[in-house]
Structure 1
Amino acid sequence: MTLMAKICLWVGLALSLWLSFLLIGTSPWSTFSAQGQELMSMEWGVISLIDLYAGFFLGLCLIWLFEANLWVKVLITLTLPTLGNPVLAIWLVFRFRYLKIKALGS
């Protein structure tokens, strides 16, 4: 793995852990509905949500294509739309070596 790939992987993991802390530690769920409605009332809010969920869908396509364990596929399918990219980041960290071999053939 190149130095740049390691840096990107660790930065992504750190940001994902920070996001997980914000979700768990600050308990933002009480304002979720009101802020979601406000986001949906803005054009760029709608575009951002479409972009976000399109990324989730593409990530799930990769998982269903490359993950061998059915229970992992189902678990990630259920958690990714609700917990977000930290779920995908964790899967990528654990499967990075396998994906690299599949992509590069070595």
Structure 2
Amino acid sequence: MTDTAASDGRRLGGRRFVVLLYLALVGVSGVMGVLFTTAVDDPSPPALFFAFELPPTAVGFGLYGAVTIAVVLGVPLALVVAVSELVDDVDAVGRAETDATDDADPDTAAVSSESPKD
């Protein structure tokens, strides 16, 4: 039997899960910004990134919450994605030096188990 969910590409894993979680958190923070205006009487206007003053309305606080969380979570997430694209194999990071010495002469190549800091 074949797994139709896996063959259709509708499986929830890896990148898709992270993106859906990210969007859910941004959406929830936007809703919480809207709900903030119902709980607080006469709120002061929010300043997006301390530079752009938004109106103290439900839309202003919703936008403030969504954009703030999108940036606070999105920037580190983008950095993680960039690093994961650059590093193909984590185990191969320190292997380039030892592979070059192993190819020269296997009998004389000494691989030290000590760290270079020692």
TM score, norm. by length of structure 2: 0.33
TM score, norm. by length of structure 1: 0.36
Greater share of residues in helix: 1
From the CA coordinates, give the structure whose radius of gyration is larger.
2
Higher relative contact order (CA 8 A, sep 6+): 1
